Amino acid sequence: MIQEPETDKLVQKIGSKYALCIVASKRAKQIAEQEQKSDYIPASMKKPLSLAADEIYAGKVVAVDD
């Protein structure tokens, strides 16, 4: 469960809880795949979902309608 940033703040950035779930899970999957590469060194000890939440809150990741 994401504790920081608060889920409500993330929903405001993305638009809906459903979209937040999709965007965060896709980004977390990308981060996890990067961590599996032998040449990738994680910048922090946070889990991929927490890193994805931080990126969403910082505006580095946004939802795009397909």
Angle in degrees, CA 2, 33, 11, rounded to 5: 30
Q: How far apart are CA 62 and CA 55, in angstroms?
A: 9
pTM for this prediction:
0.83
Closest CA to 57 of 5, 1, 3: 5
Domain residue limits, the chain? 9-19+29-34+44-66
Tens of pLDDT along the chain (66 residues)? 566 789 999 999 999 999 999 999 999 999 999 888 866 666 678 899 999 999 999 999 988 886
